[in-house]
Amino acid sequence: MNKQRIVAGLASVAMASTLVACSGGSSSNAKTLTVSVNQSLTGQFTPQYASSAYDQYVVNLCYESMLKYNADNELVPELAKDLPEVSADGLTLTYKLEKGHKFSDGTEVTSKDVKFTFATLADPSYAGPNGGGLENLVGYKEYNSGAAKELTGIETPDDYTVVFHLVSPQIDAITKFGGMGITSADHYSKYKQGKVKVVEKNQEESCGSGAYQIKSYDKASGASFVRNEEFKPEKGQYQVDQIIIKKTDVTTEVSELKKGTVDLIPDVIETNKVSEASQDKNMAFNYYSRSAVGFVAMNANNGATADKAVRQALMYATDRQGFCDSYFGWDKKASDEVKKVEGGYVPAAYWSPASVNCGAVVRNEETIDGLNTYAFDMDKANQVLDEAGWVRGADGIREKDGQKLEIKFLCSEGNSVLETLIPMVKKTWSDLGVDLKQTTVDFSTLLSNIQDESHDSEWNMCFLATSFTDNQDAGANDSYTNNPNNMAVNNYSRINDQALVDQLTKARADSDAEQSKADYVEAMKMAADDAGYMPVYSGMQFNLYNKKVDLTGTGTLRNWSQSMDTITVK
């Protein structure tokens, strides 16, 4: 599975379409939490298809997985009784399910539902973003090709036991299989091999075993949630009765927080918003290291960026440290407390900052020999292009073999990151001899276009942010996959480097953690040389909220939607 979630940054989108899903009861005394998002939900509300961080909020509220992360980034049981039993050779993982968990339709969660969930991800007709990482399951190739009618690598010896059989050891197997949200086989009883669209077409009507279920959903305004009456919380947990995810404008969400029309603005990186909130006596904030990287994807399948030299030169010609200094600087409104926090930094590589193995490298706390971090250097940028044969024309624009060095940059609307970054690169790239063409679309259009190879001729670059949802390195296996079945939806750079894929596969198959780390470090160096992704920033992320809210339990790998067991509202 792809354990990454795409974040719009600060994109503002409005789409017209309304659907009322299943409903539940409510009371005038109900405790309600209203959460602001400045990006429309797209309606991809199943674990199989959610790709944006915003739709994943819905999945987190409505579905459970066998394991989840706590605020200390440790895996703990959810549907499972405990962490899985792993065989000595690392090829078998056995999960024992806890009895009594029920879907919102009243049916019990059993091993059948776990196998069903993974069968849909392995299906020949599955074309969603979360199917990566299953290739190592015994029988996957046969099921995925249609040669076999059953996914033999998952056994269900009884209703509460699930056994995964692997072809080779997999360093992230526990998190990859344990962290997947589980869907109901009975709810999608019409599913047959090759017919996974029965799941894809019915995503707005949640039928999960999580604490909440969808009451209403509107693409333009957001969604509301009520308790899943079949969910039985432990004493003192899940005290919030209703949740509203409210679509707000990026320019007004802080004022809405002050007015009380929203209670929480989650996952904030903009220091101006944090500054404003930090001085308000009725508002509070918390913060922690962000498990995300804001990046520019460079399309290696189209135009000038198909040339590695161009990609490398553009990396050198982008003053990312200057961007971070400007974008993450604190203004005069900031409290003394918040000024002590470093808002952002330039990641050493496009990799997970939350990785237990390589995160310290990404966060610049450790260095490794041979990793090119592309410090801002215009002389080096010019040298790379000169040596690659890109020659300046009379108009100052470089060209090679009759091709102009034109860069088509696909941007999302209302994105303050781009409002700072684009003017900076316009200057330096122009000096380099680049003809920059900018197109701005809403975030949903941007995401759908870059996840469809038929649109590759329309863009050379786009800006996104990826949120990594576990503490492993295997997100890189998805980011650089050359599997044609999911390359477009996961590998935005379109880098097709078989040596890199082989190195990542080796690293993932290492059973020893130290050897896996060493092999992933080598892969990180290779990926940096390919220069398919330009890491622009990471840093701290903040939650801004009214003081009537207690946001206990959130952390780097546990956002608000995963912390509703501990969040309270007065």
| pLDDT tens digits, one per residue of 91-107 | 999 999 999 999 999 99
Coil, helix or strand for 140? helix
| pLDDT tens digits, one per residue of 527-565 | 999 999 999 999 999 999 999 999 989 999 999 999 999
pLDDT > 70 in the chain, percent: 95
The CA distance from 247 to 243, in Å, is: 13
DSSP 348-386: SSSS-TT-TTTHHHHTTSS--TT-------HHHHHHHHH
User: What one-character DSSP code corresponds to residue 176?
Assistant: H
What six digits make up the tokens of 537?
A: 């920033």
| pLDDT tens digits, one per residue of 151-168 | 999 999 999 999 999 999
Distances in whole angstroms, Cα of residue 300 to Cα of each of 303, 379, 398, 491: 8, 24, 18, 10
| pLDDT tens digits, one per residue of 303-360 | 999 999 999 999 999 999 999 999 999 988 888 889 989 889 999 999 999 999 999 9
- Mean pLDDT computed over 496-520: 94
Are the beta carbons of 509 and 172 closer than 8 angstroms? no
Helices 513-530 and 498-509, axial angle in degrees (round to 10) = 160
436 beta partners: 407
User: What one-character DSSP code corresponds to residue 181?
Assistant: B
pLDDT at 11 over 80: no
What value, to the nearest 5°, has the Cα angle with vertex 353 and ends 350 and 355? 110
pLDDT at 195 over 90: yes
What six digits make up the tokens of 491?
A: 């590998």
Say if residue 455 is exposed, middle or buried (CB neighbours under 10 Å; 0-12, 13-18, 19+): middle
Name the average pLDDT for the chain.
92
The CA distance from 533 to 312, in Å, is: 10
The pTM of this model reads: 0.85
Say if residue 440 is exposed, middle or buried (CB neighbours under 10 Å; 0-12, 13-18, 19+): middle
Of 133, 60, 13, give the one whose Cα is nearest residue 565. Answer: 60
What six digits make up the tokens of 232?
A: 């039985």
The CA distance from 279 to 170, in Å, is: 48
pLDDT at 24 over 50: no
pLDDT at 26 over 80: no
Using CA of residue 124, residue 130, residue 132, residue 133, what is the dihedral sign? negative
| pLDDT tens digits, one per residue of 120-152 | 999 999 988 888 789 999 999 999 999 999 999
| pLDDT tens digits, one per residue of 48-81 | 999 888 999 999 999 999 999 998 889 999 999 9
- CB-based contacts of 40, cutoff 8 Å, min separation 6: 13, 14, 15, 54, 219, 220, 222, 247, 443, 444
Torsion angles phi and psi, residue 244, rounded to 5 = -120, 125
- Residue 189: the pLDDT is 94
What six digits make up the tokens of 512?
A: 């020893």
Q: Name the pLDDT band for 4 (thresholds 50, 70, 90).
A: low
| pLDDT tens digits, one per residue of 413-424 | 888 899 999 999
Q: Name the pLDDT band for 28 (thresholds 50, 70, 90).
A: low
pLDDT at 476 over 60: yes
What six digits make up the tokens of 396?
A: 């100052």
Name all domains of the chain by residue range, CATH numbers in brackets. Answer: 64-190 (3.90.76.10), 292-539 (3.10.105.10)
- Mapped to the 3 state alphabet, what secondary structure does 409-446 carry? EEEECCCHHHHHHHHHHHHHHHHHCCEEEEEEECHHHH
Are the beta carbons of 376 and 383 closer than 8 angstroms? no
Are the beta carbons of 533 and 320 closer than 8 angstroms? no
Torsion angles phi and psi, residue 16, rounded to 5 = -100, 120
| pLDDT tens digits, one per residue of 365-388 | 999 999 999 999 999 999 999 999
Of 143, 174, 209, 213, give the one whose Cα is nearest residue 67. Answer: 174
Say if residue 387 is exposed, middle or buried (CB neighbours under 10 Å; 0-12, 13-18, 19+): exposed
Length of the chain: 570
Q: Name the pLDDT band for 444 (thresholds 50, 70, 90).
A: confident
Tell me the CB-side half-sphere exposure of residue 244, using CA atoms within 13 A. 14
What six digits make up the tokens of 282?
A: 């009725």
